Amino acid sequence: MERGLQRELRREIEEETLRTGTHSVYGDRKPAPRKPGKAEKKKEQQEERRRAKKKKKANRQYVFVTYFFVLLFVGMIGYFSYFNVVQGREIINDSRNPRMDLYENQVLRGSILDKDGNVLAESVENEDGTQTRTYPYEELFAHVVGYSDKGKTGLESSQNFQLQTSNVSFRTKLLNEFRGRKSAGNNITTTLDTDLQQAAYDALGNNRGAVVAIEPSTGKILAMVSKPSYNPNTIVEDWESLNANTEGILVNRATQGQYAPGSTFKVVTTLAYMRQNANYQDYTYRCTGEITAGKNEIHCFGNDVHGTVDLADSLAYSCNTSFSNIGLSLDIDEFRNTAEDLLFDSELPCPLVYNESKFNLQDDDGDAAIAMTAFGQGKLQVSPYHMALITSAIANNGILMQPYLVDQITSAEGETVEKYVPESYKELMTSEEAAQLTEYMQGVVEYGTARSLNSLGVSIAGKTGTSEYSDDKEKTHSWFIGFSNVDNPDLALAVVIENSDSTGDVATDVAGDVFEAFYAE
């Protein structure tokens, strides 16, 4: 009985131990773990998810910070690479860059040469370490070559990077350092033809104006003259008087001059009419010498009466009333598109500083503005350089080649640093359109307003122009655009003469002298 009571007591103690989790008096044996309930499981799962979410959020922040610094580093590398590789030349060419003085202290500025190697600009090192820049041809190349004192202009500006970069051998640089001499900068060989430049300069005489000559098949700029000119050798001494001068001597009229194109723009209007009228060859108009457009009476030059004319005759005789009639028939948006195709209101491919040409005809402009624009007046503004580009494209089957002035860059030791290869810039018109315009422009020379060029012994396609620039109709600019050797064009020209004697003959005569000099070489 006593043993039975002991067993009963022992069982009760063990049950109490299991229920309360206390140790048994009979040893340290742990009770079996209690299984968690559903509520506890849910709570543990929620806690686990919370910890995972917190960890994921922390990881996201670390990733964001990592990517931010990686992108910042890559961006800085990209910026410095772009700055040095892409913008390096632009920065060093900027006359406001104070580090230019450092380059000038280290490098003897390179020379600028014409296409045959004649020196157009060179520097001589003085005993005190300074250098003197000289221009052997004085006024002849003033605007296109420019000057390097009082800032920089022309090629002196656009090629500043190369002129102040020395690519002589390491040995030569080392010897120059040892001797206390400057290493010579790179030399620039241009496309400029000194004989042709001289012919254009002489042909302009005492007139204010500009001449631009381009080789259509390559884009080489062979001559670029602007008058009045100045002597870059004395730019420092003459600086105040040059700036006080009201004739704009320092302005390169070839690229920066803005003029109404006069009747040379009729080539553009002709192209617009051809594009909008498939039957353009059937065009006829009876010229009575005047036409009414809005409230304006428009007359042919010299009050000429041309009678019945077709499109070819209209261009050959430069009939203002016929082109007014053509302009009034055009869709203005399409007219503008044609002008923009020919780079009006657009950037121009130009190696020098230039001004954009403006079409300036709006949809709400009246009939008078439309008619005047059609024959080259109105609010049109264009540079001689731009008209030379259009002429060059017509001569080259509608393709404008990238115009350029720098043929090659060489080190002072004669090693080639860069060599320019001609390349196409843009198709301004189709070859069929160019061929038709060429035929019409030949008529201008054969029986139209530029008949005086027939005596040169070479085929020429051209267009004369006279543009008014004030209320006084006697004050005009004289224009000529054209190209020679029509079957295989050699030379495209644009000529403008300011304040001429109310005819296009002055510019035509200048063009004739330039063409003649070109074929006399």
Catalytic residues: 263
DSSP three-state, residue 426: strand
Provide φ and ψ at 444, rounded to 5°: -60, -40
3-state secondary structure of 374: helix
Q: Quote the CA–CA distance of 369 and 359 in Å, as a whole number.
A: 12
Q: Among all chains, which residue has been given the structure tokens 């230019």?
A: 100
What backbone phi and psi angles, to 5 degrees, belong to 499? 50, 50
DSSP H stretches of helix in 86-193: 88-93, 100-106, 142-145, 154-158, 160-163, 170-179
Q: Residue 263 has which token pair?
A: 């009747």
Query: Cα(361)–Cα(128) distance, rounded to whole angstroms?
Result: 59
Q: CA 414 to CA 473: how far, in whole Å?
A: 56
CA distance 120 to 504: 33
For residue 229, give both structure tokens. Answer: 């000119």
- Mapping DSSP onto H, E and C, the string for 39-106 reads HHHHHHHHHHHHHHHHHHHHHHHHHHHHHHHHHHHHHHHHHHHHHHHCCHHHHHHCCCCCCHHHHHHH
Q: Give me the residues paired with residue 463 across strands.
A: 481
- CA separation for the pair 438, 444 (Å, rounded): 10
Instruction: Please provide the distance, in angstroms rounded to a whole number, between the alpha carbons at the two ends of the chain.
Output: 148
If we measure between CA atoms, which residue out of 483, 499, 501 comes closest to residue 491?
Answer: 483
